[in-house]
Amino acid sequence: METYAPTRKEAFELLKEYNQDESLIKHALAVEAVMRHFAKKVGEDEEKWGLIGLIHDLDYEMFPQQHCKKTEEILKKRNWPADYIRAVLSHGWGICTDVEPQSQMEKVLYAIDELTGLIAATALVRPSKSVLDMKAKSVKKKWKDKSFAAGVDRAIIQKGADMLGMDLDELFTDTIMGMRQAATEIGLQGNNQDE
Protein backbone atom coordinates (compact mmCIF):
# COMPACT_ATOMS: atom_id res chain seq x y z
CA MET A 1 0.00 0.00 0.00
CA GLU A 2 3.01 2.27 -0.39
CA THR A 3 1.28 4.26 -3.11
CA TYR A 4 -1.47 5.51 -0.80
CA ALA A 5 -0.74 8.90 0.68
CA PRO A 6 -3.15 10.33 3.26
CA THR A 7 -4.41 13.87 2.72
CA ARG A 8 -4.21 16.77 5.19
CA LYS A 9 -8.00 16.66 5.55
CA GLU A 10 -7.98 12.95 6.41
CA ALA A 11 -5.15 13.37 8.88
CA PHE A 12 -6.83 16.29 10.62
CA GLU A 13 -10.15 14.43 10.85
CA LEU A 14 -8.35 11.46 12.31
CA LEU A 15 -6.65 13.72 14.85
CA LYS A 16 -10.00 15.18 15.89
CA GLU A 17 -11.52 11.73 16.14
CA TYR A 18 -8.99 10.76 18.83
CA ASN A 19 -8.37 14.15 20.47
CA GLN A 20 -10.68 16.59 22.25
CA ASP A 21 -8.09 18.38 24.38
CA GLU A 22 -7.41 21.75 22.85
CA SER A 23 -3.82 21.91 24.10
CA LEU A 24 -3.01 18.59 22.44
CA ILE A 25 -4.51 19.76 19.16
CA LYS A 26 -2.48 22.98 19.38
CA HIS A 27 0.64 20.90 20.04
CA ALA A 28 -0.12 18.79 16.95
CA LEU A 29 -0.60 21.94 14.83
CA ALA A 30 2.63 23.46 16.16
CA VAL A 31 4.64 20.34 15.35
CA GLU A 32 3.01 20.20 11.90
CA ALA A 33 3.98 23.81 11.16
CA VAL A 34 7.57 23.27 12.25
CA MET A 35 7.88 20.06 10.21
CA ARG A 36 6.60 21.96 7.15
CA HIS A 37 9.14 24.71 7.76
CA PHE A 38 12.03 22.24 7.93
CA ALA A 39 10.84 20.26 4.88
CA LYS A 40 10.76 23.48 2.88
CA LYS A 41 14.19 24.47 4.16
CA VAL A 42 15.80 21.24 2.97
CA GLY A 43 13.69 20.82 -0.18
CA GLU A 44 11.69 17.80 1.00
CA ASP A 45 7.99 16.88 0.85
CA GLU A 46 6.22 19.51 2.99
CA GLU A 47 2.89 17.73 2.97
CA LYS A 48 4.37 14.43 4.12
CA TRP A 49 6.50 15.97 6.87
CA GLY A 50 3.56 18.12 7.97
CA LEU A 51 1.11 15.23 8.24
CA ILE A 52 3.56 13.15 10.24
CA GLY A 53 3.96 16.07 12.63
CA LEU A 54 0.21 16.53 12.87
CA ILE A 55 -0.48 12.91 13.74
CA HIS A 56 2.58 12.01 15.84
CA ASP A 57 0.75 12.04 19.22
CA LEU A 58 -2.54 10.67 17.88
CA ASP A 59 -3.06 8.13 20.67
CA TYR A 60 -1.78 10.19 23.58
CA GLU A 61 -5.10 11.51 24.89
CA MET A 62 -6.97 8.19 24.85
CA PHE A 63 -4.13 5.72 25.41
CA PRO A 64 -1.33 7.48 27.33
CA GLN A 65 -0.05 4.15 28.67
CA GLN A 66 0.23 2.73 25.16
CA HIS A 67 1.61 5.89 23.56
CA CYS A 68 3.04 5.24 20.08
CA LYS A 69 1.89 1.59 20.08
CA LYS A 70 -1.77 2.50 19.60
CA THR A 71 -0.96 5.03 16.91
CA GLU A 72 0.93 2.32 15.05
CA GLU A 73 -2.14 0.09 15.25
CA ILE A 74 -4.56 2.80 14.12
CA LEU A 75 -2.42 3.98 11.20
CA LYS A 76 -1.72 0.42 10.01
CA LYS A 77 -5.43 -0.30 9.98
CA ARG A 78 -5.91 2.76 7.79
CA ASN A 79 -3.17 1.70 5.40
CA TRP A 80 -0.90 4.62 6.15
CA PRO A 81 2.46 4.13 4.41
CA ALA A 82 5.14 2.31 6.42
CA ASP A 83 7.59 5.23 6.33
CA TYR A 84 4.99 7.58 7.81
CA ILE A 85 4.37 5.10 10.63
CA ARG A 86 8.08 4.56 11.24
CA ALA A 87 8.62 8.29 11.53
CA VAL A 88 5.79 8.67 14.03
CA LEU A 89 7.20 5.82 16.14
CA SER A 90 10.70 7.26 16.11
CA HIS A 91 9.61 10.38 18.04
CA GLY A 92 9.20 8.08 21.05
CA TRP A 93 12.65 6.55 20.73
CA GLY A 94 13.95 5.49 24.14
CA ILE A 95 10.65 6.50 25.76
CA CYS A 96 7.89 4.37 24.30
CA THR A 97 9.54 2.73 21.27
CA ASP A 98 12.95 1.42 20.26
CA VAL A 99 12.70 2.94 16.78
CA GLU A 100 15.75 5.15 16.43
CA PRO A 101 15.40 8.27 14.25
CA GLN A 102 17.33 7.65 11.03
CA SER A 103 16.07 9.88 8.23
CA GLN A 104 16.40 13.63 8.42
CA MET A 105 12.62 13.86 8.75
CA GLU A 106 12.69 11.58 11.79
CA LYS A 107 15.56 13.46 13.39
CA VAL A 108 13.77 16.79 12.96
CA LEU A 109 10.59 15.42 14.53
CA TYR A 110 12.59 14.03 17.45
CA ALA A 111 14.41 17.32 17.98
CA ILE A 112 11.45 19.70 17.77
CA ASP A 113 8.63 17.82 19.52
CA GLU A 114 9.53 18.84 23.08
CA LEU A 115 11.04 22.11 21.89
CA THR A 116 7.68 23.41 20.63
CA GLY A 117 6.48 23.10 24.24
CA LEU A 118 9.39 25.14 25.59
CA ILE A 119 8.89 27.80 22.92
CA ALA A 120 5.13 28.02 23.56
CA ALA A 121 5.73 28.35 27.31
CA THR A 122 8.39 31.00 26.72
CA ALA A 123 6.10 32.98 24.40
CA LEU A 124 3.32 33.00 26.97
CA VAL A 125 5.43 34.68 29.65
CA ARG A 126 6.60 37.44 27.31
CA PRO A 127 4.77 40.81 27.28
CA SER A 128 3.55 40.22 23.70
CA LYS A 129 2.52 36.61 24.41
CA SER A 130 3.57 35.94 20.84
CA VAL A 131 6.03 33.95 18.76
CA LEU A 132 5.86 36.57 16.01
CA ASP A 133 8.41 38.89 17.62
CA MET A 134 10.30 36.27 19.56
CA LYS A 135 13.99 35.41 19.16
CA ALA A 136 16.08 32.34 19.96
CA LYS A 137 17.73 34.33 22.76
CA SER A 138 14.52 34.29 24.84
CA VAL A 139 14.30 30.52 24.53
CA LYS A 140 17.96 30.15 25.42
CA LYS A 141 17.36 31.96 28.68
CA LYS A 142 14.47 29.68 29.58
CA TRP A 143 16.47 26.67 28.42
CA LYS A 144 19.00 27.35 31.15
CA ASP A 145 16.33 27.87 33.79
CA LYS A 146 15.57 24.21 34.52
CA SER A 147 12.65 25.05 36.81
CA PHE A 148 10.86 26.79 33.93
CA ALA A 149 8.62 24.38 31.98
CA ALA A 150 10.33 21.66 33.97
CA GLY A 151 8.44 18.94 32.09
CA VAL A 152 10.33 19.77 28.90
CA ASP A 153 13.18 17.28 28.61
CA ARG A 154 16.17 19.40 27.56
CA ALA A 155 18.33 16.28 27.11
CA ILE A 156 16.06 14.98 24.33
CA ILE A 157 16.18 18.30 22.50
CA GLN A 158 19.96 18.39 22.82
CA LYS A 159 20.21 14.84 21.53
CA GLY A 160 18.02 15.79 18.57
CA ALA A 161 20.14 18.85 17.79
CA ASP A 162 23.27 16.68 17.90
CA MET A 163 21.72 14.14 15.53
CA LEU A 164 20.97 16.95 13.10
CA GLY A 165 24.36 18.55 13.56
CA MET A 166 22.66 21.83 14.45
CA ASP A 167 23.53 24.14 17.28
CA LEU A 168 20.74 25.11 19.64
CA ASP A 169 20.47 28.70 18.37
CA GLU A 170 19.82 27.51 14.85
CA LEU A 171 17.37 24.84 15.98
CA PHE A 172 15.49 27.36 18.15
CA THR A 173 15.36 29.93 15.36
CA ASP A 174 14.00 27.48 12.80
CA THR A 175 11.45 26.10 15.25
CA ILE A 176 10.23 29.60 16.10
CA MET A 177 9.95 30.38 12.38
CA GLY A 178 7.87 27.26 11.84
CA MET A 179 5.56 28.06 14.76
CA ARG A 180 5.01 31.58 13.39
CA GLN A 181 3.33 30.04 10.38
CA ALA A 182 0.60 28.65 12.64
CA ALA A 183 0.69 31.41 15.28
CA THR A 184 -3.05 32.09 15.17
CA GLU A 185 -4.11 28.44 15.20
CA ILE A 186 -1.86 27.65 18.15
CA GLY A 187 -2.87 30.75 20.11
CA LEU A 188 0.54 32.44 19.97
CA GLN A 189 -0.20 35.38 17.73
CA GLY A 190 -0.17 37.50 20.87
CA ASN A 191 -2.03 40.61 21.73
CA ASN A 192 -0.53 42.87 19.05
CA GLN A 193 -3.68 42.85 16.96
CA ASP A 194 -5.90 43.93 19.85
CA GLU A 195 -4.00 47.12 20.45
Determine, following the binding rule CB under 5 A, whether residue 32 of this chain makes contact with Fe ion: no
Of positions 35, 113, 143, 180, contacts Fe ion by CB under 5 A: 113
Q: What is the smallest separation between the CB atom of 84 and Fe ion, expressed in angstroms? A: 15
Q: Which stretch binds Fe ion (CB under 5 A): 13-21, 109-117, 132-140, 176-184?
A: 109-117
The DSSP-derived string for 39-88 is HHHHT--HHHHHHHHHHTTTTTTT-GGGTTHHHHHHHHHTT--HHHHHHH
Which one-letter DSSP state was computed for residue 97?
B
Computed on alpha carbons and rounded to an integer, the radius of gyration of the chain in Å comes to 16
Q: What is the smallest separation between the CB atom of 68 and Fe ion, expressed in angstroms? A: 7
Of positions 34, 48, 57, 188, contacts Fe ion by CB under 5 A: 57
Q: What is the smallest separation between the CB atom of 61 and Fe ion, expressed in angstroms? A: 11
Q: What is the smallest separation between the CB atom of 194 and Fe ion, expressed in angstroms? A: 30
